A = this chain, B = another copy of it.
Amino acid sequence: MYIHHAMQELTLDPDNWTDLRTLGHRMLDDMFEFLETVRERPVWQSVPASVRERLAAPLPVAPSCAAATYDEFKELILPYPTGNIHPRFWGWVMGTGSPVAMLADMLASGMNSHVAGYDQSASLVEDQVLRWLAELLGYPSTTSGILTSSGTAANLIGLAVARNIAAGHDVRARGLQHDGAPLIVYGSTETHSWAQKAVELLGIGSDSLRKVAVDANFEMRLDDLRDAIAADRANGLHPLCVIGTAGTVNTGATDDLRAIAKICDDERMWFHIDGAFGALARLAPKHRAIADGIELADSIAFDLHKWMYMPFEAGCALIRDAAAHRAAFALTPSYLTALERGIAAKPLEFAARGIDLSRNFKALKIWFSLKVHGSDLFGQLIDQNIDQAAYLRERIESEPSLELMAPVPLNVVCFRYHASDAINQEIVLRLQESGAAVPSSTMIGGRFAIRVAITNHRSRRSDFDFFIDEVLRHAGELEESR
């Protein structure tokens, strides 16, 4: 009895490891089944009211059987995912995830590494993965980087380094609460909304974000950019940074990155690229020229959970000047001081490159995926998605009742049926509600557009044929019922 006394202390570990392990195996089988059969299910379905009600249940104060909780998960949660795991999900820009990455996420959660730095495997793996990614995008091996939660977070880090380092005064200490010339950031009217969030968060303010007009290809007008910079300088303002976009969210346009790099060089400004998905076109052997100049930025943000199909979250920021990156964020309070040896012998290098101190092992799924699949396959899959977009464009161009709304330089196709905005919106809703496909929508030139963004390794050419058939079927039904 005495010997068991210590065992009476409480823990979250199971009394019976075998039972929980058996349940874990059941979960794993179910998830494999779930992924293998995803094509047979609707892309998406609305959460029914009865499920909503049950997901509003009060706080569970007492324990429940793990198997019963899992049954509830299978009934209330698993059937209602976002849908982006399905081959016909092309809404917004979301990656698909993969079975290999799911297994890696389980391993990462079990290890539960705290990746602020430290002498541990996870930090070495993150550094290795960052080197691989820098190489894939054509950045030098001395480039610094960090994995982040999201594209917004990665872009924010790039812009924060620009503000803290390129502003020319001690922004970390003095903030922007002083009499210096206001900092101005430049993007295009097609720049993603992260830029507004970032300048707001950084205290720059959205009034100081210039949205430069775009040309017919939705690329930033460079004359307008030069004029805006000159006008701001003439007004005593401080042009800080130009944001170039590789793959705009609306139409997949890529700015002339080489030209912007030259302008930033001439103007002694920071060049940041938002390459959320478009940067990864650099990996695609057939289409890599689309991302020409991607290697020229001072900082670049992109998302492995978009066009490298990783499960969320896996954003990435790369900063060319490693010292500038560190100087923008590093702190060393006494409880985080590095010692000569031991676990803290390695500095908190990742905490010194971004916002978070507590960080999980995001790198493991990327490490596993690049090793198991090889980087070449990712490039081929990106080529395949770009080819699928071109195929969809051809299908649309050959249908007299459909109208292409924008050029298709990458993986985004915007089009509409030759009827009112309301009918086009109804087509999108019926496609989603029927579970046939999930496109999203946007406004282009003030008109409603059905928008297909292809960052999906499960999509096949036949899925786009089916999609066009369904668009036309719903359109026909809507015309008849008018």
Contacts and interface: CB of A to CB of B under 8 A. Distances in A.
A49 to B, nearest CB: 11
A250 B442 contact: no
Interface in A353-402: 355-361, 364-365, 368-377, 380-381, 384
- Interface centre among A131, A337, A342, A458, by most chain B C-beta atoms within 10 angstroms, is A342
Contacts of A375: 59-61
Contacts of A78: 107, 111, 121
A174 interface: yes
Stoichiometry, copies per complex: 2
Interface stretch (A14-22, A255-263, A289-297): A14-22
Nearest to A363: B77
Interface stretch (A219-227, A264-272, A308-316, A403-411): A308-316
Interface in A10-60: 10-14, 17, 20-21, 23-25, 27-29, 31-32, 34-36, 44, 46-47, 51-52, 55-60
A321 interface: no
A273 interface: no
Interface in A48-95: 51-52, 55-66, 69, 72-73, 76-85, 91-92, 94-95
A102 B97 contact: no
Contacts of A312: 112-115, 358-361
Given A109-B102, A112-B81, A355-B152, A203 B17 contact: no
A334 interface: yes
A193 B340 CA distance: 22
A182 to B, nearest CB: 4
Contact of A103 (B23, B135, B182, B443): B23
B197 A331 contact: yes
Interface string A439-471: 011110000000100000110111000000000
Given A340-B429, A343-B438, 12 more contacts: A10-B380, A11-B457, A62-B376, A66-B372, A69-B368, A82-B118, A91-B343, A92-B336, A105-B106, A172-B205, A201-B201, A342-B432
